[in-house]
Amino acid sequence: MHLPISDKIELNILHQNSHQAEKNKVKFNNYNLLCLNIMSSPGAGKTRLLEITLEDLSKEFQSAVLEGDMTTNLDAARLEKFNIPVVPITTGRACHLDASMVSGGLKLLEKKINPDLLDILLVENVGNLVCPAEFEIGEHFKVALLSITEGEDKPLKYPIMFREADLILITKVDLLPYLNFDIKELKSNIKSTNPKAEVIEISSLTKSGFDLWQNWISKKIMKFKNK
Amino acid sequence: MHEVDMTKCLILSIEEWAEKKNKEKIVVEKINLKIGEFTCVEPISLINTFNAAVLGSWLDSSEIIIETIPFEGKCSKCNRSYFPQKENGYKSPCCNFNLEEIISGRELKIASIDFKEK
């Protein structure tokens, strides 16, 4: 045996995932396809958000969905009624989507439709405020949902998720009159964690704020297409 | 348990590195990681997961060493560096400004690998 040698590497632990995420992004770019990674805790309203969003979005843009779910295809089934390509990705015990799962989902999507025909790919991540924050999938933007029933302190308790998000949607705001909830405090906590994030308040029940969200998506698609 | 997936990525990266070194002729002793405080990684969980994953493999005798990198921000008003605290919303203690720039704490790195040639 020889003396020990120390080899300096300085490589990201998630290098393998980041490498695949970069490959996914190149594919999305080649297809001129904007990809949003939609994340939140379970029950914050991701699937309902997509249901309402797709009603209007489908009139203007060609959309597709990759639907991450741990054990069922229930969410994917809810979205198939919009006559758009929906690919369920069942993660099994994994509590987040990673870049290779999205790559697999994209391959299945390519069998359903030529992605050149699409404008936007909405990826619904697994409901979790921790793991999805660290695993890039090749997305262009990260959208985090936070429902008011979760409490004002969540941006401070799960800072990585809210720090990484480009847009934060505060959901279920129709419940504000019935809860002892301080939305100013929540917004202050979001600002503390991520001063650069855009914030939109929405309600899937009254549809308030959906015009702003749809407008945000439209602008991002148009800017991406004209880049 | 994202540490399981992180471990998978980590082992794949070590395998990739080892192939270049001629894997059959080396013994990995230590894998030195730098983990920032402002990440989703629990060092103990990562070590335990790694130890379980490499059991009986060529990495069985290797050890994970973690250097924790402090979470440090920079005040965007006065440029002083500070250690952000959850309790005051990560604001700078000097000017009470929101945390805009993170200097360190987001690291998830394999810094180096110590090995011996057989």
Flag whether pLDDT at A220 surpasses 60.
yes
- The pLDDT > 90 percentage for chain A reads 82
Are B115 and A1 in contact (CB < 8 Å)? no
- Lowest-confidence pick of A3-7, A97-101, A160-164, A173-177: A3-7
| Closest chain A residue by Cα to residue B98 | A192
Residues 6 or more apart in contact with residue A49 via CB below 8 angstroms: A38, A145, A169, A171, A202, A204, A213
Are B89 and A10 in contact (CB < 8 Å)? no
Q: How far apart are CA A168 and CA A178, in angstroms?
A: 22
Instruction: Kindly indicate the confidence band of residue B1, based on its pLDDT and cuts at 50, 70 and 90.
Output: low
Judge whether A136 is closer than 8 Å to chain B, CB to CB.
no
Option in B40, B98, B111 nearest A10 (CB): B111
pTM: 0.92
Judge whether A185 is closer than 8 Å to chain B, CB to CB.
no
Instruction: Kindly indicate the confidence band of residue A1, based on its pLDDT and cuts at 50, 70 and 90.
Output: low
Flag whether pLDDT at A42 surpasses 90.
yes
Option in A16, A131, A196 nearest B2 (CB): A131
Pairing, β B26-36 against β B108-117: antiparallel
Q: How far apart are CA A20 and CA A27, in angstroms?
A: 11
Segment B9-26 mean pLDDT: 92
Q: Average model confidence (pLDDT) for chain A?
A: 93
Give residue-wise pLDDT tens across range A14-32.
999 999 999 999 999 999 9
Are B9 and A15 in contact (CB < 8 Å)? yes
Q: Where do we find the tokens 């369920």?
A: A88
Are A5 and B115 in contact (CB < 8 Å)? yes
Q: What is the pLDDT at residue A77?
A: 81
Are A13 and B40 in contact (CB < 8 Å)? no
- The pLDDT > 70 percentage for chain A reads 100
Flag whether pLDDT at B54 surpasses 90.
yes
CA of B65 vs chain A CAs: smallest distance (Å): 13
> Which element (helix H / strand E) includes B12?
helix B2-21
Give residue-wise pLDDT tens across range A88-123.
998 877 789 999 999 999 999 999 999 999 999 999
Judge whether A5 is closer than 8 Å to chain B, CB to CB.
yes
Secondary structure of chain A as H, E, C letters = CCCCEEEEEEEECCHHHHHHHHHHHHHHHHCCCEEEEEECCCCCCHHHHHHHHHHHHHHHCCEEEEEEECCCCHHHHHHHHHCCCEEEEECCCCCCCCHHHHHHHHHHHHHHCCHHHCCEEEEECCCCCCHHHCCCCCCCEEEEEEEHHHCCCHHHHCHHHHHHCCEEEEECHHHHHHCCCCHHHHHHHHHHHCCCCEEEECCCCCCCCHHHHHHHHHHHHHHHHCC
Give residue-wise pLDDT tens across range A183-199.
999 999 999 999 999 99
